[in-house]
Structure 1
């Protein structure tokens, strides 16, 4: 064997050894967990041309975060992100978020997704940021945030809460949405599924009904959505509803049926599960965190009893939407990671008590900075909230 052959063998041995080391490190660092922890993601922290009239500095909603002022003595504003004001449409910045999420037990993002006047809104966060950075590390699904877009962001606007864009859609627009969601998102390998069916969450069912022209038309449209999903190669569509006061408790115009409860509404339209978006939808967000949390989480068992479809518990970090308003609104004044930990354990226990359901817990939120409810680290609690989830959910 000549010197060149020895050199090749030596080089090959080095390559194999290095590969073995990397493989060992990869195995050592692989994260496994028994629960799916899905954090809602508000995709407003990047430049969106359609929102430039609201955010002229081209920073998205960061502009109201770093300009926030306390409304009274002791009011903890502004909130300051530990990582700085990241651009979520930049894959490098999104990579930082994904890495931290997965390392701390958040294995799914639920993106607020918008469609106004025939076009998507705030979608670059997903398309340019998340999908380019993710590389299969975590799952994601969409919550169609089909509420009206209003001017409440615009602090000096004399017409507070006037509508910029309507959140409702007609059937033509609904069909366009269905095609876009299936082709662009459901077919991505990282899209979150339950029993093989892509999960699609709808924020305001009553708005969907109003736009489509009634209950019967909405049922037909959702049946069409299911068929298109099956035609795309999936076993079905998993429709998830957001449970709050905006979920209708009755619907009219259904021949031969008396629909007078939220459960009957869900059954009629064929929804598969429910969760909450936040505790602010359940209890007035004002004052003590633990009192607010106890009142909200004590409702879980009632939700589970009242509905024939699975209810997935929601955890909420805190609440303070004052950056969005020129006047004072109610807020939670004493949240802390160690208090949050109590309700994380309560959510785990609830899920364990329902073994026939997917072990899914939703969290408000990954980054609702403008509502004061975020897992991302700030300069006060650092990585505290994420560390709570890591301790509860991550196994090495």
Structure 2
């Protein structure tokens, strides 16, 4: 058996604690768990609301809850987290506390990096008509300095993930950032000033960022299942889904079909490194109600079969160092690895077993 040292990363949503903005927008006490608990079964056998194992509705503003996440991830073969980072310009941030708590507490034993989720926030949950809550702004070069000064303290932490002595930074929608190339060059130079060899930027590839946007980026990350659901289906299929959405009906896709697309893909991006992406499941009806999308047919047994093939893929340009799972804890989108009251630790056990099977001695 050929050994494999690939590190498994999981996208991390830090929204499981109260913030003043959410209390203002959605009511006192709102957290991401509020969305999860609002899920309703839409048909016989539909697993909603999804319930964390032992009713573990944790609070990520509490250090012990964050530490338990890190310990669980490490125990089950997840090397680290890709933390969503919400920077709206001029230092305006949301949900920064969990990452800052990691920085402040060296006994939290995990690796991590940031994914700048650079998008305007709208009232799109629960089928509401879009209304702007917080606009994503790009003030320019003065903001690059502020942003880097914030990043700097994290980059210097030994637990922050590096590639070739470069801090890894994911960008959700690279094409939306004015002067992107110049900004990345600036970040790279600032990184060199503090002892690194530059910055390692990774573009998300999904319907909002369909192609490699910049040659300055080092790699791409294929964000699942959104990638497969839009790029690996026919135009007729997309038209049918568009009509379903217009009718405000629930969309359904096949778990096996999405995984087949992931495992058979051979697309390249101008020789850029591909950080392959996969998913555990998808059902965002807790957020979207009947207007949501469900990827039907998920099971621990299927995930085990598909994940091992994914983990050992030898696709051209694919990273042999990292792969990413969406997600660690996107509970209200049905994309999570943490144990629930239906499958327990099943998905985490799969990751642990596959990683242990192929890792180098």
Q: TM-score range by the shorter chain?
A: 0.7 to 0.9
1:278 aligns with 2:224: yes
The within-5 A match list for 1:59-138 is 59-83=30-54, 84-116=56-88, 118=90, 119-128=92-101, 130-132=102-104, 135=107, 137-138=109-110
Query: Which residue of 146, 150, 162 maps to 1:176?
Result: 146
Q: Which runs of 4+ in 1 moved over 3 A?
A: 130-134, 352-358
Largest Rg, 1 or 2: 1
CA contact (8 A) 1:315 1:343 kept: no
CA distance in 1, matches of 2:26, 2:58: 15
Q: 1:344 aligns with which of 307, 328, 340?
A: 307
Residue 324 of structure 1 is matched in structure 2 by 287
The 1-side partners of 2:38 and 2:47 are apart by 13
Q: Distance in 2 between matches of 1:331 and 1:293?
A: 14
Matched, 1:162 2:131: yes
Relative contact order: is structure 1 or structure 2 higher (C-alpha 8 Å, sep ≥ 6)? Answer: 2
Match of 2:167 among 198, 209, 220: 198
Task: Give, in whole Å, the separation in 1 of the partners of 2:149 and 2:176.
Answer: 20
Report Cα offsets for 1:295-350 as digits up to 9, x if no partner: 23322x21xx3431110111101111111124332201221111111221122222
- 1:79 shift after superposition: 0.3
Aligned residues of 2:173 and 2:208 also touching (Cα < 8 A): yes
Gaps of 5+ in 1: 1-32, 249-261
Change (3 A) 1:114 1:65: same
Structure 2 residue 341 is the aligned partner of structure 1 residue 379: yes
Q: Which residue of 2 aligns with 1:390?
A: 352
Determine the structure 1 residue equivalent to 2:21: 50
Cα distance in 1 for residues equivalent to 2:94 and 2:269: 35
1:183-221 deviation digits (Å, cap 9, x = unpaired): x3111110000011000110001221xxx3xxxx33222
Q: Which residue of structure 2 aligns with residue 9 of structure 1?
A: none
Structure 1 residues 51-106: Cα deviation after superposition (integer angstroms, max 9, x where no partner): 21244342511011112212333322100001410011211011111111001100
Instruction: Give the strand-richer structure, 1 or 2.
Output: 2
Matched positions, count: 333
Q: 2:262 aligns with which of 290, 296, 304?
A: 296
Hey, what does 1:7 align to over in structure 2? Answer: none
CA distance in 1, matches of 2:137, 2:271: 27
1:37 paired residue number = 8
Distance in 1 between residues matched to 2:334 and 2:127, nearest whole Å: 22
Question: 1:357, CA displacement in angstroms?
Answer: 4.0
Q: 2:207, 2:253 → 1: CA distance?
A: 22
Q: Give the direction of change, closer, same or farther, for the CA distance of 1:57–1:356 in structure 2 (3 Å limit).
A: closer
- Check 1:117–1:234 CA distance in 2 against 1; reply closer, same or farther (3 A cut): closer
Cα deviation for residue 353 of structure 1 reads 5.6
Question: Does residue 308 in structure 1 map to residue 256 in structure 2?
Answer: no
The whole-number CA distance in structure 2 between the counterparts of 1:246 and 1:379 is 34
Please identify, of 61-70 and 161-170, the stretch whose mean Cα deviation from structure 2 is larger.
161-170
Root mean square deviation, CA, Å: 2.3
Query: 1:278, 1:314 within 8 Å by CA — same for their partners in 2?
Result: yes
- In terms of mean alpha carbon deviation, does 229-238 or 173-182 score higher? 173-182
State how far apart, in whole Å, the 2-side matches of 1:277 and 1:357 are: 15
TM-score by length of 2: 0.85
Q: Structure 1 residues 108, 100: closer, same or farther in 2, change over 3 A?
A: same
1:45 touches 1:59 (CA, 8 Å); kept in 2?
no
Partner of 2:214: 266
Give the 3 Å change call, closer, same or farther, for CA 156–276 of structure 1 in structure 2: closer
3-state SS of 2:53 partner: coil
Q: Secondary structure at the match of 1:287?
A: strand
- What secondary structure, in the 3-state scheme, does the structure 2 residue paired with 1:323 have? helix
Asked whether the 8 Å contact 1:40–1:363 carries over to 2, the reply is: yes
Q: Is the 8 A contact 1:202 1:240 kept in 2?
A: yes
Whole-angstrom distance in 2 between the partners of 1:170 and 1:355: 35
Take 1:365 and 1:315, find their aligned partners in 2: how far apart are those partners? Answer: 9
Normalized against structure 1, the TM-score is what? 0.78
